[in-house]
Amino acid sequence: MSAAKRQFSSLQEALDAVCGRSVQILRMDPVAGGDINRAYLLNLSDGHKLFMKENAADKMSFFVREAEGLQAIGSSGTISVPEVYAYGKDGRDSFLLMEYITPGKTITGFYEDFGRQLAAMHTADCSAYTGSGKFGFTTDNYIGAGYQVNTPEEKWIDFFRNRRLLPQIQRAEKCFNSVELNAFDRLLNRLDDLLLEPEQASLLHGDLWSGNYITGTDGRAWLIDPAVYVGHHEADIAMTELFGGFPQAFYKGYYEVYGKETGYEDRRDLYNLYHLLNHLNLFGTAYLGAVLAIVRRYS
């Protein structure tokens, strides 16, 4: 399946380009799992299957940015992602058509292999994605449903301060009192002492929790739902530990390829502050306590 272009003015036009004019949708089965988009497994008349995401027409930028992120990861040649076939608008809806990944049986050593693949992605050349700076991305995108600013910066710590923490703090400002806002200011001013500049910039998945990888037909890990940017590899690893962590075999495989830097555990929660702030902004004050605990610790 292929399409000469990615963007289409209707779902039928996209299907004609991707599958051929004689191919029809026989059945659309809802797929559970996401909380932002509607998702379907499309069973086609030629026996093929496609995965489709759907949202309101004014949300098409979600799909354009997702396609860019998957393309960036796939271009690294290190770990698999579903192929994006098409996106566009159809009346009041927007859509994204992708390769449907049939779940397979995991290979022996699945998590060690996963860790090694991610480390390979983190060591791949990513200079094409940041333009005028060393860290960031060619376009802004999304972290879940939250807007993610990727304007490039030459220094990682400046990027993390200006493009990650500060926009989230500003969005959540109404949740904090003056004492807490002062603690945020102290934290932002201390980042140069708390974080490290990486020796190598890394292409990051950006939202790497257990719901954002699947097992492919090859039995290996495939990445989905990226929030990509170029940053410090520790930010991806920290996210894997935010909601319970991956199996230890994953970290064993990762650190076999990309050695662990001294003091990572002291930086991990600071990187995850970004995600907790994003959750606070998206889902409400259930995350307020966790956010403030980290701010108090580092300020």
Return the pLDDT at 5.
63
Domain ranges of the chain: 7-99, 110-298
Domains 7-99 and 110-298 belong to one CATH topology: no
Return the pLDDT at 3.
52
> 61-68, long-range: CB within 8 Å, 24+ apart, which pairs?
62/36, 62/37, 62/94, 62/142, 63/87, 63/94, 63/95, 63/96, 64/7, 65/139, 65/140, 65/141, 65/142, 66/96, 66/141, 66/142, 66/225, 66/226, 67/6, 67/96, 68/138, 68/139, 68/141, 68/228
CATH of 7-99, one of 3.60.15.10, 3.30.450.20, 3.30.200.20, 3.40.190.10: 3.30.200.20
Q: Residue 207 catalytic? A: yes
Return the pLDDT at 133.
86
The model's pTM: 0.95
β-strands 84-90, 7-8 pairing? parallel
Q: Tell me which of 35, 58, 185, 207 is the catalytic residue.
A: 207
Give SS3 for 260.
coil
Q: What span, in angstroms and rounded, lies between the C-alpha atoms of 263 and 170?
A: 29
Domain 110-298 has CATH 3.90.1200.10: yes
Q: What is the pLDDT along the chain (299 residues), one digit of tens a residue?
A: 555 468 899 999 999 999 887 889 999 999 987 778 999 999 999 999 999 999 999 999 999 999 999 999 999 999 999 999 999 999 999 999 999 998 889 999 999 999 999 999 999 999 999 988 899 999 999 999 999 999 999 999 999 999 999 999 999 999 999 999 999 999 999 999 999 999 999 999 999 999 999 999 999 999 999 999 999 999 999 999 999 899 999 999 999 999 899 999 999 999 999 999 999 999 999 999 999 999 999 99
Return the pLDDT at 51.
96
Return the pLDDT at 1.
52
CA distances from 76 to 42, 106, 121 (A): 29, 22, 6
